[in-house]
Amino acid sequence: MNLQKKIILNKNLIDLNSLKLSVKSKYFIECSNDQDLKSVHAFLKNKKIKFFILGEGTNIVFKKNYDGLIIKNSYKTLKKVNGNKIKISSGFNWDKFVQYCLNNSLYGVENLSGIPGSIGAAPIQNIGAYGKEVSSLIESIEIFNLKTGKNEEFLKKDMVFKYRDSIFKKKPHLFIKNICFALNKDFIPNTSYDDLKNKKFDNAIDVRKEILKIRKRKLENYKINPNVGSFYKNPIINEKKLKQILSIHDDLKFYKYKKDYKVSAAWLIDRCNWKGKQLKKSFVSKKHALVLVNKDSKSSSILGLSNKIKKEISNKYKIKLTEEPRII
């Protein structure tokens, strides 16, 4: 790879992030194969600059121009099915992957239909929806270490999966190349989520159709109203804190989570009357209180709105909201 030809200077990322923020990266490069990755490693070793690996940009907030190298993940070298396992490269689109699995009679991913972004972003964030987390389906991951220039393999036990978290968030120098998923040959419907309870599904395609219908009804299309989906994680609180809130609000939405409880961030935001409210050029969606829509080319509007929401919920409920997208 001729780096001088492939590296773009002062690249505007407005079309590479779903918030449509007009920010520039000092250096920008697209990586689609192993040779690209090796060349980028050499470039970083020489320049000694910061870098960030970018997928489809649907879960990122750029605060300002990026004074480093943005590495666009276009790695699409592998797609292989072996029994109930599928190994696929990180640069492919997540929802197209879900459809591909169902077309090949591989099940378990159907509840994760409609989530925007690339496959490589899925384990970083440990994406989850409608009663399913992707960590339950991942067997191993092949990565390229941009610090050492070597290939490595991570098994599930190495990935330290948590709620919307994994080891890859703490090790941003690991470029995820290929992911091996262990899926099911038999369809077993997962109807644990409230919107799916009391519904009967004969096949995974029907589950997918129902979830896509729910998402369309509840969530904003980022191509029309720029957003990153859920802007906050559901906060996790202990039993004592839960009882305190329930003594005041017996309609609190919460779920048992291991030894603690997960509280609905949307419920908290709604109770503080933020749903539908606007601040400068950003607003809270009328469809879903977790979705913040951005109509500004700069990040000040959406981050200002987020900070006001977080402050009010902290003051009222003594609960700290944490952003779900990565803010850099």
Per-residue model confidence as pLDDT tens digits over 123-132:
999 999 999 9
Residue 281 has pLDDT above 80, yes or no: yes
CB–CB of 266/288 below 8 Å? Answer: yes
Task: List C-alpha distances in Å: 292 to 56, 205, 229, 297.
Answer: 18, 30, 8, 14
Q: What's the predicted TM-score (pTM) here?
A: 0.93
Higher pLDDT, 112 or 5: 112
Nearest to 107 by CA among 194, 206, 189, 218: 189
**What's the rounded Cα separation, in Å, for the pair 72 and 309?**
32
Q: Is 230 a catalytic residue?
A: yes
Domain 223-327, CATH: 3.90.78.10
Whether the pLDDT of residue 213 is over 90: the answer is: yes
Answer for the pair 180, 212: CB distance below 8 angstroms, yes or no.
Answer: no
324 catalytically annotated: yes
Q: What is the pLDDT at residue 194? A: 87
Catalytic residue among 39, 230, 282, 301: 230
Instruction: Give the residue-averaged pLDDT of 51-62.
Output: 98
Backbone angles phi, psi at 292, to 5 degrees: -105, 125
Catalytic residue among 139, 312, 323, 324: 324
Q: Please, which residues have CB within 8 angstroms of residue 58's CB and are 6 or more apart in sequence? A: 17, 18, 116, 117, 121, 222, 228, 229
Angle at which helices 94-103 and 204-218 pack, to 10 degrees?
160
Averaged pLDDT, 13-39: 97
DSSP string, 40-103: HHHHHHHH---EEEESSSSSEE--S-EEEEEEEE-----EEEETTEEEEETTSBHHHHHHHHHH
Mean pLDDT in residue range 65-79: 97
CATH fold of 3-73: 3.30.43
Amino acid at site 110: E
User: What are the residues whose beta carbons fall under 8 Å from the beta carbon of 215, sequence distance 6 or more?
Assistant: 113, 114
Average pLDDT, the chain: 96
Measured at the CA of 182, the angle between CA 262 and CA 205, to 5 degrees, comes to 75
What's the CATH architecture for 79-215?
2-Layer Sandwich (3.30)
Task: Please check whether the two domains, 79-215 and 223-327, share a CATH topology.
Answer: no
CA distance 307 to 311: 6
Give the span between the Cα atoms of 53 and 72, in whole angstroms. 6
Residue among 47, 55, 74 nearest 115 (CA): 55
How is residue 8 annotated by DSSP? Answer: E
**Domain segments of the chain: what residues?**
3-73, 79-215, 223-327
pLDDT bin (cut points 50, 70, 90) of residue 3 is: low
Mean pLDDT in residue range 251-280: 95
Residue among 113, 164, 166, 220 flagged as catalytic: 164
